[in-house]
Structure 1
Amino acid sequence: MSNTVVVVDDYLFNKLMRKIDQINDKIDSISIEKNDGFKDRWYVTEEVCKLLNVSRRTLQTMRDNKVIAFKKTGRKIYYKASDIEAYLESING
């Protein structure tokens, strides 16, 4: 059994890797949309920034400080609606 070596230039390799990342992100989003068996909506970073009126950096700090719960799947970060609601209740008393 012989092994075949394929040589690909950087441009094509990077293009292929971006496409694989896009496919992976799509698969991840499909599995999140199924809600892991729960009837709760999941939001992506951009949506949560708008809901909370904060920047991406502020939301990152909130994640780092474990102020708001999240789930990371691949390179995407998702936030459960009930966790966002719990955070809002905690700051509003």
Structure 2
Amino acid sequence: MDIIAIERNAFNQMIQRFEDFSKQVKSFCGNSQNNEQWLSNKEVCELLQISPRTLQSYRDNGTLLYSQIGRKCYYRVLDIENLINQSQVVI
């Protein structure tokens, strides 16, 4: 394992960005009481700030569960929240 040293200011900026992102996810998804809500490809890409190709990779490698109706894919809010929680870095 490599240890990477960064300046405190850069670290604080990273923490602030993560907190802002977390607030954005919570506001978009609601108060977690509506975990059965489903989101489209476009909504998930906007929420996670990823490209459609990255989202496809998440589907292909099983990182993010989805349901497909015809050619449309849908994602549960709960699964997106789980992905975010699993991706958090503890310092």
Name the TM-score, length of structure 2 as normaliser: 0.58
Which one has a larger percent helix, Structure 1 or Structure 2? 1
Distance 2:80 2:67 in 1: 12
1:66 & 1:39 partners in 2: Cα distance?
A: 20
Structure 1 portions without partners, runs of 5+:
1-37
Contiguous gaps of at least 5 residues in structure 2: 1-33
2:59 matches 1:58: no
* Percent of residue pairs bearing the same amino acid type: 39
Deviation at 1:69, TM superposition (A): 0.5
Establish whether residue 85 from structure 1 lines up as the match of residue 70 from structure 2.
no
Q: 1:46 aligns with which of 42, 45, 49?
A: 42
Larger Rg over CA atoms? 1
Q: Which runs of 4+ in 1 moved over 3 A?
A: none
- Aligned Cα root-mean-square deviation (Å): 1.5
